[in-house]
């Protein structure tokens, strides 16, 4: 490697150190493993770690059952009642009276994205810290092409993700169309599996436009996002669509700017960088506003926050489930405990939070990411560089039946007709 690359690596390490220190300083209770030498033996687990979760209710999208969960080497080994392991090196977690559920998968985020003359404040480290503290163990970020070039875009996001602390996937945004892009898309679908889908975001589900009229610019501007937050009533309609299954999953569009960045638009609202936080809040808000209120069941909650996303991106049941052989990405949620949200306790690097002061029921007490306890008793224990890129293979269930419907369309009267020159 040449000197500039080595320097680059060094710079990255220093930067990571700075981020860890910054977060640790604002949250004295937090601990971070050192970037070097993390992994095995770092905090609650690591590769080879064994965990037994006892006495909880295991909730998958297809059913809920009283069962223990045994984890080894980052993978779920067994899910059944009364698992016994006669070994002192197993960490036992008591989940009596609590729900053991697949970790959240956020299908829509923008970490370290260059946008409107600035860069979103959360990168693949602080964004992952926030996600894990809130019970989300994987996300799918949008790769933004570089001047329309998809390959260059993917390369740049792979670099951004070098400091990741949990698993992630990518979707590709298409910002321009020409023959080059068309050729690139073909090879990307072959190599990486890219597909575009849509979903409601948590801010649209629970917020209304009232704050946008606040006379304090710092308050009003933090709610500026696109599409805009609508007047009260729209949120209830979205909740209804989610509970009836019309909308199958919930994302965040986590795209966070701090108050200094938002102030770029002080004299001209069109220059306010659009975006709100949510990667840390989504799991708690959906539980409190949808499951706690009885609009959806526990199994539905798992479906809309995790399983459906895993199915759409064709990574189920490795992700989105607690089954033998699944990745050990899961949370323990205590339905009796309450939460209060805000910038003073969140893990995003932003100094503002659109859910400031929001209270509710249901607390993610433990987050396990690939078999490591990364969040427990309000303490984060994460390792930069420990996340992995999860390939999302093309042609998941959304493609089921497309061959038949294509054939039916071609045979129908609506299809364009190929006319030979000789025909009358
Ligand atoms: C796109 O970027 C890649 C990687 O940087 C480069 O190899 C390729 O030539 C670029 N394609 C075009 C059409 O510029
Ligand atoms: C709109 O949001 C505000 C602020 O969160 C809330 O106080 C108010 O009750 C909401 N309005 C309606 C009609 O839900
Ligand atoms: C917002 O982020 C920018 C860029 O990192 C930083 O310079 C600025 O001090 C931050 N503002 C606040 C209020 O934290």
Ligand 3 center to 115 CA (angstroms): 15
Measured between alpha carbons, how far is 273 from 288 in angstroms, rounded to an integer?
Answer: 29
Indicate the helix (H) or strand (E) that contains 382: strand 379-382
Averaged pLDDT of the chain: 85
Indicate the helix (H) or strand (E) that contains 202: helix 202-206
pLDDT tens for 124-138 read 999 999 999 999 999
Half-sphere exposure of 88 (CA within 13 A, CB side): 0
152 lines ligand 1 (CB under 6 A): yes
The residue whose CA has the least distance to atom 12 of ligand 2 is 232
pLDDT at 43 over 90: no
Indicate the helix (H) or strand (E) that contains 94: strand 90-94
The residue whose CA has the least distance to atom 4 of ligand 2 is 210
Ligand 3 center to 19 CA (angstroms): 13
Please compute the mean of the pLDDT values over residues 332-341 and round it to a whole number: 98
Mind listing the domains of the chain with CATH numbers?
A: 100-398 (3.20.20.140)
SS3 387: coil
Q: Is the dihedral of CA 92, 23, 342, 240 positive or negative?
A: negative
Ligand 2 center to 210 CA (angstroms): 7
Mutate to test the pocket of ligand 3, among 117, 258, 350 (most ligand atoms within 8 A of CB): 258
Question: CB-based contacts of 294: which residues, under 8 Å, 6+ apart?
Answer: none
Ligand 3 center to 21 CA (angstroms): 16
pLDDT tens for 297-334 read 999 999 999 999 999 999 999 999 999 999 999 999 99
Q: What's the pLDDT at 418?
A: 55
| Nearest Cα residue to 239 out of 203, 185, 273 | 203
| pTM (two decimals) | 0.84
Q: What's the pLDDT at 5?
A: 29
151 lines ligand 1 (CB under 6 A): yes
- Please tell me the number of the ligand nearest to residue 210's CA: 2
- Paired strand residues for 141: 109, 170
Measured between alpha carbons, how far is 68 from 54 in angstroms, rounded to an integer?
Answer: 5
| Nearest Cα residue to 286 out of 356, 355, 213 | 355
Residue 178: pLDDT band with limits 50, 70, 90: confident
- Please tell me the number of the ligand nearest to residue 187's CA: 1
In eight-state DSSP terms, residue 319 is: S
What order do you get walking across the sheet with 330-340 strand by strand? 31-32, 379-382, 372-376, 359-369, 330-340, 99-102, 57-59, 64-66
pLDDT tens for 280-299 read 999 999 999 999 999 999 99
- Please tell me the number of the ligand nearest to residue 257's CA: 3
How buried is 376 (Cβ within 10 angstroms: 0-12 exposed, 13-18 middle, 19+ buried)? middle
Ligand 3 atom closest to the Cα of residue 118 is 4
| Nearest Cα residue to 202 out of 341, 349, 372 | 341
- Please tell me the number of the ligand nearest to residue 159's CA: 1
Cβ < 6 Å from ligand 3: which residues?
121, 258-261, 351
Measured between alpha carbons, how far is 102 from 266 in angstroms, rounded to an integer?
Answer: 42
Q: What's the pLDDT at 148?
A: 87
| Nearest Cα residue to 131 out of 278, 26, 320 | 278
pLDDT at 45 over 50: no
Measured between alpha carbons, how far is 318 from 279 in angstroms, rounded to an integer?
Answer: 21
Ligand 2 center to 228 CA (angstroms): 16
């Amino acid at each position: 490697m040449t000197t500039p690359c080595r320097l680059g690596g060094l710079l990255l390490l220093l930067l990571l150190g700075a981020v860890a220190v910054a977060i640790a300083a604002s949250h004295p209770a937090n601990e971070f493993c050192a970037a070097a030498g993390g992994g095995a033996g770092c905090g609650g687990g690591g590769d080879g770690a064994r965990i037994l979760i006892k006495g909880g209710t295991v909730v998958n999208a297809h059913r809920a059952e009283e069962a223990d969960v045994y984890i080894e080497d980052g993978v779920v080994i067994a899910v059944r009642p009364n698992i016994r392991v006669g070994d002192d090196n197993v960490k036992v977690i008591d989940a009596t009276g609590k729900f053991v559920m697949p970790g959240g998968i956020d299908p829509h985020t923008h970490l370290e994205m260059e946008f409107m003359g600035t860069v979103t404040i959360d990168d693949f480290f602080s964004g992952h810290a926030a996600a894990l503290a809130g019970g989300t163990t994987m996300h799918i970020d949008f790769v933004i092409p570089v001047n329309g070039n998809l390959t260059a875009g993917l390369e740049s996001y792979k670099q951004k993700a070098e400091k990741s602390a949990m698993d992630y996937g990518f979707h590709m945004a298409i910002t321009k169309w020409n023959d080059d892009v068309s050729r690139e898309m073909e090879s990307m679908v072959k190599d990486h599996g890219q597909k575009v889908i849509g979903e409601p975001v948590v801010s649209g589900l629970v917020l209304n436009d009232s704050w946008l009229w606040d006379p304090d610019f710092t308050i009003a501007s933090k709610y500026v996002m696109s599409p805009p937050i609508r007047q009260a009533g729209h949120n209830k309609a979205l909740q209804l669509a989610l509970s009836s299954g019309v909308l199958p999953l919930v994302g965040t569009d986590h795209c966070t700017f701090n108050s200094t960045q938002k102030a770029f638009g002080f004299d001209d609202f069109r220059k306010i960088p659009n975006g709100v936080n949510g990667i840390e809040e989504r799991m708690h808000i959906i539980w409190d506003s949808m499951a706690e209120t009885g609009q959806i069941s526990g199994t539905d909650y798992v479906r809309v926050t995790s399983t459906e996303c895993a199915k759409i991106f064709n990574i189920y049941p490795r992700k989105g489930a607690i089954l033998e052989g699944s990745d050990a990405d899961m949370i323990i949620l205590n339905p009796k405990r309450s939460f209060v949200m805000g910038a003073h306790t969140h893990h995003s690097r932003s100094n503002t939070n659109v859910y400031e002061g929001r209270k509710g029921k249901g607390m993610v007490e433990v987050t396990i990411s690939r078999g490591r306890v990364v969040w427990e008793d309000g303490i984060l224990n994460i390792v930069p560089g420990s996340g992995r890129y999860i390939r999302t293979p093309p042609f998941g269930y959304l493609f089921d039946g497309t061959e038949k419907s294509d054939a039916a369309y071609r045979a129908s009267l609506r299809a364009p007709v190929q006319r030979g020159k000789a025909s009358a």
